[in-house]
Amino acid sequence: MPPRTLIALTRAVSPSIANCELSFIDRQPIDFSLACRQHHDYEQLLTSLDVEVVSLPPEPNLPDSMFVEDAAIVLDELAIIFPLGVESRRREAELMAKAIARFRGVEFVTLPGVVEGGDLLRIGRTIYAGLSARTNRDGVRQLRAIVSRFGYEVICVSMTGCLHLKTAVTSLGNNTLLANREWFDASAFSGYRWIDVDRAEPHGGNSLLVNGSVIYPTSFPRTLRRLEADGFRVLPIDISELQKAEAGLTCSSLIFEWDGTSP
């Protein structure tokens, strides 16, 4: 088999990010220059972990377009492109389909189904799909029909109180989940070990596992210390300006393996 490279698709911060969609936090002024520096630091950290970062150009008219994860899920066999849950973001899907076509064949979920990748937590060949304001049952039904051909199981997860499922729960590897279990139906996840966020840091459930290291926001120091105490190699990063746009760590990249061949 040809060697496989770990790819991270990212997109530069839009100059219009201050006009981003917000659902669960209040709007604050965003320092565009600082947001760009923090996003660059994020890309550099991925590069330091032996990830090949493919950085796409900014989209001035699409304020949320740096959140590339929401437009697609990339599996080993193919990528699925989504109509996002708010109309203002739907052009992002077309752009992402073009970017991903270099690496994977693509299929599409179509309206009235809607899905955002932030609601999809993939662990092995199981995809947990959060039912939210951005992801509906028809979208999940279409996703299931596509991925079941390749042996994936899709499990619906009821949730409330946050934007996406991965706002509340992410995988740390080793059968362990980091979570705010008040925001979703944890009974959908059986057989996992839990690390709960500190109660003072309810948004601390979003982490990014890359090549054995856990990238984690400095905004949640108490939960960060819990991860370190549990033996995880934690790499702190400041994304405080991006968090004003309701950003998490997972939403700013699409990470997948590539064997160097065209689909």
Q: Tokens 């994304």 label which residue?
A: 239
Q: Which residue has the higher pLDDT, 161 or 131?
A: 131
Q: What's the pTM value of the predicted model, to 2 decimals? A: 0.96
- Give the pLDDT band of residue 262 (cuts 50, 70, 90): confident
How far, in Å, CA of 36 to CA of 42, rounded? 10
CATH class given for the domain over 5-258: alpha beta
Among residues 20, 36, 162, 251, the one annotated as catalytic is 251
Q: What pLDDT, in 10s, does the model give residues 60-118?
A: 999 999 999 999 999 999 999 999 999 999 999 999 999 999 999 999 999 999 999 99
Q: Where are the domains of the chain?
A: 5-258
Q: What pLDDT, in 10s, does the model give residues 165-216?
A: 999 999 999 999 999 999 999 999 999 999 999 999 999 999 999 999 999 9
Among residues 20, 36, 39, 164, the one annotated as catalytic is 164
Half-sphere exposure of 70 (CA within 13 A, CB side): 29
| Whole-number Cα distances in Å, 82 to 96, 223, 243 | 10, 32, 23
39 is catalytic: no
**Residues 71/117, Cβ–Cβ less than 8 Å:** yes
